[in-house]
Structure formats: C-alpha cells, structure tokens
Amino acid sequence: MRVCFRSQVDPQFLDEYRQRHAEVWPQMLTALEAAGWENYTLHLGDDGLLIGIVDCDDLDEIRARMALTEVNARWQTEMAALFPASETAPDNGFMVMEEVFNLDQQLAEAGPTSEGQMK
Amino acid sequence: MRVCFRSQVDPQFLDEYRQRHAEVWPQMLTALEAAGWENYTLHLGDDGLLIGIVDCDDLDEIRARMALTEVNARWQTEMAALFPASETAPDNGFMVMEEVFNLDQQLAEAGPTSEGQMK
C-alpha cells in the first residue's frame, strides 16, 4: 500500500535540505531498508512543502522501527535545524494525506464491463 | 519512474472533490489506463493541497495522450468548478515536484559496502 505524507521544510534552508538528502548516510539508508521503508522517495516544493511517499502496510510501524535506531536519532537531530521550530523531531511532523483516488482500485471495482464502455 | 505533482483544490469544495473522485467515470478510468497512467493515486489535504503520484517515463507524454480524449475534456470541464478560478483546465495546473531523495537509488549507489556499516 502506498502512503503519502506531508511536512514543511523551512524555506530558508531548501538548498541545504537538498544537499543533505542527496547524500544520506549509508547507515541511515540501510536502517530505512531494514525497517521496511520500501520504494521511499521525498519531493520538495519551492515553498518548502515536503512530500514523502513510501510503500508499506503500516506507516506507524515502520516509523516506530526507525525510532529504535541510534542512527535515526542522530539524523533527525541534525535535520531539525532545517524545519520550522517546533517541539517535535522532523519525522514526528509527518502528516499522512488522505488517498482520494486510486486508479487500479477503481478499475478493479469497475470490472470488465468498463472496457466495453470505452468503445 | 515515479512522478509526484501538486495542485490546489478550492477548500470550499473538498467534500465534492472527494465524492467525485470516489466514483470516477469508468470511461475516464479506462482512458487513463490506455494513456499509460500506471499506479496513479491522488491525495488530498484539509487545506486543499492535492498531490498526484503516477509511475511513468514522461508525464508530459501521458498528459498529452489524455488531452486527445473526448472524455478527459468533459471530465476536466466538470472538475474546473472545484479548483480556484484560473484560465487553465485543472490538469494543466499540475506542477511536478522535485525528487530530492530516492532510497532505492541511493542504496544502489552506496553499494554492498553499506551493509557492513550497518553492523
């Protein structure tokens, strides 16, 4: 299942955010993989809008697994400076977005009759 | 290749947007599939932020293929009322977001040495 979440990077620090994420620590990469972060990408808007996309059954579960790692604590502490001031770590500010359309699901529900309507 | 794009739904019409997209016309579904929209989902925020995610090699190409269909013109005309007033059709307001992190790509670049650093 694909999960999409949003957050907000401080617009002052977009370049630094890009640089840091172009070269994530190898230990952080393998920790994410081991924790079940499949097909994980991050996307940044010019206004600091940050979108994360990951394939998983349960985002809370894979976040909890990362929270157990020492490397994640170190990484999030360094990233915190790039997010607007708040009391929470950056990865606690991830808000899941509601899926309002899924093409494959609706195609499956429409069934084979939909093909006839195409013609 | 995964592409993530953003747009903005008029916050007054979030419920209508949800309802319309919960039951997209079968003809629109099959047109999207035929035009190459693979694994396509839409995600909506409470403020009207709209995120689209699709697997494709070239977003412009699959948009151009949809633009050739009669059903897309009808669909976008009906959807236009749910987007803030503008001179463009809703699907012309899609802005691609920059991918700033790709876990699988960085794992591949880090190579097998990264596994050793995990331990």
Nearest-Cα distance to chain A for B16, in Å, is 11
The CATH classification number of A2-118 equals: 3.30.70.100
pLDDT value of position B110: 87
- Per-residue pLDDT band for A93 (boundaries 50, 70, 90) equals confident
Write down the domain spans for chain B: 2-118
For every residue of A47-99, DSSP letters joined together read T-EEEEEEE-S-HHHHHHHHHT-HHHHHHHHHHGGGS-S-SS-GGGS-EEPEE
- Tokens 């209508």 locate to B16
Looking at residues A80-88, what average pLDDT do you find? 82
User: B84 CB contacts (<8 Å, ≥6 apart)?
Assistant: B8, B10
Partners of residue A59 in chain B, C-beta under 8 Å: none
From the first residue on, what is the mean pLDDT of each consecutive set of 10 residues in chain B (119 residues)? Answer: 96 97 97 98 96 96 96 95 79 89 96 55
Identify the contact set of chain B against chain A, taking CB-CB distances under 8 A. 2, 4, 6, 17-18, 21-24, 26-27, 29-34, 37, 39-45, 49, 51, 53, 95, 97-104, 106-107, 110, 113-115, 117-118
ipTM of the complex: 0.90
pLDDT value of position A34: 97
A2: β partners: A55
Entry pTM: 0.90
Is B114 in Cβ contact with A29 (below 8 Å)?
A: yes
pLDDT tens, residue by residue, A45-70: 999 999 999 999 999 999 999 999 99
CB pairs under 8 A between A and B: 141
